[in-house]
Amino acid sequence: MSDPASLQNLTDFAEQLAREAGDLIQRERDQNTLRTDYKQQTELVTHADVLADKLITGAIRERFPEHRILSEETMPDLSQAENLDTPLWIIDPIDGTVNYAYGHPQVAVSIAYAENGRVQAGVVHAPFAGETFRATRGQGATLNGQAIEHSGATVPRDSLFATGFPYTKDNLEPLVRRLDAMIHQCRDLRRIGSAALDICWVACGRLDIYYENVSPWDFAAARLIALEAGATAGHFGDVPDGYPVDLYGRDILISAPAIWEPIRSILRTASGYH
């Protein structure tokens, strides 16, 4: 396991890459050169996604040729998350691609670094908002260099939650049941369109709760940031035996600590879990 100083250096490296990728995707949108396509016929991807992905992965390969990379656009092999033999970088070059394509500001570059299945460093950079969230395990979380912490929410009724919905719409019934339960038992819903920012907003107290089914690149960095900000992170469903908890994205739940268990109960009941 890397020592604290080495992990800080890795976090610095991740932040540098995230900022460079953020500059790139800003230029691409500002120049109105946005080109879009679809993967799996439903999920929007832009030329900027691919360019930013190549920028980040190329720099990691050059500096750490022995490390593995799990990246949404160029290396989306989820089996990498189960291989614990060598360090792993988990990357989303543009989290919130639909927002990006429509000119919305809720867009982030997410970079996480994991050893033995545990995320040790994470950076989420929102270039249009000018906000950089970062965390190194055991050393707290910051937003633009200032320490952050969760909201301290104590009851679901007074809590603001965020979630998201999949690109494919063929199995929405469980999601609608959960949404119905949450909207009736919490203050309100926010649909931001970037899982990484949803979680970072829980970390800094702009939201109280986040839940969803997502891929490792969507949440790996932000989850560590939330944990280091004192939030509670886990799952309202069961994690398969042997799968790294830090990288398992199904039924993920992150919230202020006092409301985590009651929210988990609401979501388990709505999902029909026993």
Residue 41 pLDDT grade (very low, low, confident, very high; cuts 50, 70, 90): very low
The string of pLDDT tens digits covering residues 50-95 is 899 999 999 999 999 999 999 987 776 777 777 778 999 999 999 9
Higher-confidence position of 82 and 185: 185
CATH number, span 4-145: 3.30.540.10
The string of pLDDT tens digits covering residues 199-251 is 999 999 999 999 999 999 999 999 999 999 999 999 999 999 989 999 999 99
Q: Which run of H or E residues covers position 5?
A: helix 4-30
Contact 216, 75 (CB under 8 A): no
Domain 156-271 adopts which CATH fold? D-Maltodextrin-Binding Protein; domain 2 (3.40.190)
Mean pLDDT of 156-172: 90
In this prediction, residue 42 carries a pLDDT of 44
Residues of each domain in the chain carrying CATH 3.30.540.10:
4-145
DSSP alpha helix (H) spans, 108-194: 173-185
Contact 209, 190 (CB under 8 A): no
Of 107, 116, 100, 77, nearest to 216 (Cα)? 77
Q: 177 CB contacts (<8 Å, ≥6 apart)?
A: 270, 271, 272
Residues of each domain in the chain carrying CATH 3.40.190.80:
156-271
> Which pair of tokens denotes residue 25?
């995707």
The string of pLDDT tens digits covering residues 93-112 is 999 988 998 889 999 999 99
What's the pTM value of the predicted model, to 2 decimals? 0.94
Weakest mean pLDDT among 32-36, 54-58, 74-78, 140-144: 32-36
